[in-house]
Chains A and B, each alone.
Chain A
Amino acid sequence: MSASDLYRENVLAHNREPRNHGALAAPTHAADGANPLCGDSLRMELAVADGHIAALRFSGESCAITIATASMLSERVAGLDAAAIAVLRREFEALLRGDPCDADALGELAAFGELVRYPARRKCAQLPWATLTAALNGAARATTEKDDP
């Protein structure tokens, strides 16, 4: 097992140079995701046109897993509507659990299948999804922390 099973090259590359990083001038939707115990925070801003994501930007201070997930996610959901994103999110959750999932649909995000071996870090990859879902639903905040002491 190498040090980079989880931190593989594309994950590290997305962390180093995240895609769609920054803010939108006129977002139609936005939400703040935070895992305060962990120390991850993430803001997502969307421009939704005719129910589809026309633009997405994210910012914040987070670990490499959260940033790389947000970066890959921002590319993957471009042009999708809320229903299609919900389907993808279910596939991603199945991936994290080690259950059968549609890896082709997830694309680069399938790299996080390694999180099966890192249960404590799953919430890091879940945070961008929860934040995106919150923004689409009109909720201001999201977290994926529950009972961390």
Chain B
Amino acid sequence: MSAGVFDQAARRADFPLLTREVNGKPLVYFDNANTAQKPACVIETVDTFYRRHNANVSRAVHTLGEEATAAYEATRDKLAKFINAPSRDEVVFTSGTTNAINLVAYSYAQPRLRPGDEILVTQMEHHANIVPWQLVCERTGATLKVAPITPEGELIVERFIELLTPNVKLAAVVHVSNVIGTVNPIAQLARACKARGIALLVDGSQAAPHLPIDVQALGCDFYAVTGHKMFAPTGTGALWARREHLDAMPPFFGGGEMIRAVSFERTVFADPPHKFEAGTPNIAGFVGLGAAIDYIGEVGIDNIRQYESELLAYATQALRSVDGLRLFGQAREKAAVLSFLIDGVHAHDLATLLDQEGVAVRSGHHCAHPLMQFYGVPATARASLAFYNTREEVDRFVAALEKVRRLLM
């Protein structure tokens, strides 16, 4: 998937939005963990789809219907290849990661769980990988338990493995933390789960745009991704699951698209993945996701990983020079996400004042209350970087931080 020499400036120029100004300053977009910007090729693909090919998928025999279906289904092939799934039929399209995890909670976990069973998550999960499990626990009498992390933000792997007791039926772990950037050792966790017959779901929202993903090498049972963080339109995503799980899982939603035959007496469901794709999907969005996957392939995921890790090292060093700045999460394996606070300054004041300088960061709990509680803070500010960001932007960000700090102290 690597693609030769990485011309960062040329790649940055692929993103039209990055040229705009905010509050009279050149935009510094450091909110990529929230959502990524879109390259022109993705925008144009969606535009062209609506101008030339728009039709519903998998039901019309006319030319546009065939074109729309081919473009839509091509994304399934691309995504299967992107995550090295053994089969395209194991890739279920969803509206995003949240929808994918809920699908597993309702269709896989709920029928299996009995009172006394347990689901294991980690302290660093996003609410999307906590709340669906809490809901399924309420319905089944199962309980949720939590694997701890170190103050540096690393999962304590030995504790995770100790917690894989016979009652645990499913473990759910984030691949890359959206708050502190920690990259979890999924392959190691998956081996431990597999040895005990426990299914492992991986929330790959933050991993897919930044790391090579190989679900076979990882050895997990479920892997969830979302398109909008991968430079694709919102409302796109996927669940990869082992075929035997998909075969055993009942449908989550019923409707059109997911059936083979319907009468009032009985409905025969389509095979996976269509069994889980009721209703008309976000067709143009998924065609755009295909373009985004092609684009990531052109840039080269290894180039992205390498560039971002150098940029992370540069940004970490730069932030350490700011007086009173506290960084949250210093895992050895880390993606380019920097959560921080400045002594005596509230995160929302930071974010509002940085916005005045054209710098977009997120402030708040980042949909991870338990992680905020672990660090004993209500909120942090978070700079999350992408391969289109530059050292010069990091410098402008740090200068803006200094200005804000002086204003508020």
- Measuring CB to CB, which residues of chain A are less than 8 angstroms from any residue of chain B? 1-7, 12, 15-16, 36-41, 61-65, 118, 121, 124, 149
Contacts and interface: CB of A to CB of B under 8 A. Distances in A.
Interface in B144-193: none
Nearest to A36: B378
Contacts of A5: 356
B349 A63 contact: yes
A149 B367 CA distance: 8
A12 B407 contact: yes
Interface string B393-409: 00000000001100111
B352 A62 contact: no
A41 B377 CA distance: 12
Nearest to A2: B356
B382 to A, nearest CB: 13
B23 A39 contact: no
Q: List the 9 closest A-B pairs by CB distance, nearest first.
A: A39-B378, A63-B346, A39-B379, A3-B356, A64-B349, A63-B348, A63-B349, A1-B23, A3-B353
A27 to B, nearest CB: 25
Contacts of B407: 3-4, 7, 12
Contacts of A121: 348, 352
B346 to A, nearest CB: 4
Contacts of B379: 38-39
Given A12-B408, A39-B377, A3 B348 contact: no
B356 A124 contact: no
A143 to B, nearest CB: 13
Contacts of B26: none
Contacts of A38: 348, 364, 378-379
Interface in B329-378: 346-349, 352-353, 356-357, 364-365, 367, 377-378
B379 to A, nearest CB: 4
Contacts of B408: 7, 12, 15, 64
A122 to B, nearest CB: 12
B4 interface: no
A3 B379 CA distance: 22
User: Which DSSP category, helix, strand, loop or mixed, fits chain A's interface?
Assistant: loop
Contacts of B403: 3
A83 B353 CA distance: 36
A36 B377 CA distance: 11
Contacts of A6: 352
A40 B349 CA distance: 11
Contact of A39 (B24, B346, B352, B357): B346
A119 to B, nearest CB: 12
Among B348, B356, B407, chain A packs the most CB atoms within 10 A around the CB of B348
Nearest to A15: B408
Among B346, B365, B409, chain A packs the most CB atoms within 10 A around the CB of B346
A15 B24 CA distance: 27
A5 B23 CA distance: 12
B349 A37 contact: no
B356 A39 contact: no
Contacts of A1: 23-24, 356
B353 A39 contact: no
Interface string B123-163: 00000000000000000000000000000000000000000
Contacts of A40: 346, 378
A120 to B, nearest CB: 8
Contacts of A37: 364-365
16 contacts: A1-B24, A1-B356, A3-B357, A3-B404, A3-B407, A6-B352, A7-B407, A7-B408, A12-B408, A38-B364, A39-B379, A63-B347, A63-B349, A65-B348, A124-B348, A149-B367
A41 B24 CA distance: 33
A3 B408 CA distance: 11
Contacts of A3: 353, 356-357, 403-404, 407
Contacts of A7: 349, 352-353, 407-408
Contacts of A4: 407
Contacts of B23: 1
Among A15, A63, A124, chain B packs the most CB atoms within 10 A around the CB of A63
B346 A64 contact: yes
A62 B349 CA distance: 10
B110 to A, nearest CB: 24
A39 B365 contact: yes
